[in-house]
């Protein structure tokens, strides 16, 4: 086999033929399912599941009072938290320096696996000049957008 059966990189996806190969057509048509009678998943089910695009995780600022950041750095979803389907809202406070930068980040509540990335990005936020000396109460909501796993 000179390449994976499923394209894994963008280049492979571009180079992938429009039509499924004979082997993939066989898998999709349940031709090989009987070879895996004791398996928890049949090859045809796995093939169909692989054709569905993965949901895109979302992170959004749900509140920031009394001021909104002028320069908002969007956090990335921590990969291990995404795999574990950890979701939730991180509530935190931050003080605003005279130059508008944030300092004294403090978590009020939120999952420990989401706190580090939150602190990292909030340290890059800037607020308007009139927010200097203020304490900002804010919340970031993390959602994997994955459907519940069927039992």
pLDDT digits (tens, 9 = 90+) for 9-26: 555 555 555 566 888 888
Count of domains for the chain: 2
Average pLDDT over residues 98-123: 95
Same domain, 101 and 125: yes
The alpha carbon of residue 99 and the mean position of all alpha carbons in its chain are separated, in whole angstroms, by 32
Q: What is the CATH number of the domain that holds 122?
A: 3.30.2420.10
Indicate whether 118 belongs to any domain: yes
Same domain, 74 and 136: yes
Provide the residue range defining the domain that includes 82.
58-143
Same domain, 37 and 93: no
d(CA 103, CA 97): 7
d(CA 20, CA 31): 15
Same domain, 76 and 128: yes
Among candidate residues 126, 131, 136, 130, the one with its CA nearest the CA of residue 69: 126
pLDDT digits (tens, 9 = 90+) for 127-148: 999 999 999 999 999 999 877 6
β-bridge mates for residue 59, sequence order: 142
Same domain, 132 and 71: yes
Indicate whether 10 belongs to any domain: no
Same domain, 46 and 93: no
d(CA 143, CA 56): 9
Place 8 in a pLDDT band, splitting at 50, 70 and 90.
Answer: low
Indicate whether 3 belongs to any domain: no
What value does the mean pLDDT of the chain take? 85
């Amino acid at each position: 086999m000179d390449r994976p059966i499923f394209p894994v990189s963008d280049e492979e996806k571009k180079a992938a033929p429009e039509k499924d190969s004979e082997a993939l057509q066989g898998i999709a048509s349940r031709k090989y399912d009987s070879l895996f009678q004791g398996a928890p998943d049949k090859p045809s089910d796995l093939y169909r599941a692989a054709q569905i695009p993965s949901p895109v995780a979302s992170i959004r600022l749900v509140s920031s009072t009394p001021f909104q950041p002028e320069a908002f750095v969007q956090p990335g979803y921590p990969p291990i938290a995404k795999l574990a389907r950890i979701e939730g809202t991180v509530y935190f406070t931050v003080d605003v320096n005279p130059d508008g930068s944030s300092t004294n980040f403090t978590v009020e509540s939120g999952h420990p696996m989401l706190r580090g990335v939150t602190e990292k990005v909030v340290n890059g936020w800037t607020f308007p000049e009139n927010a200097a000396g203020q304490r900002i109460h804010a919340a970031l909501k993390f959602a994997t957008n994955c459907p519940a796993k069927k039992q």
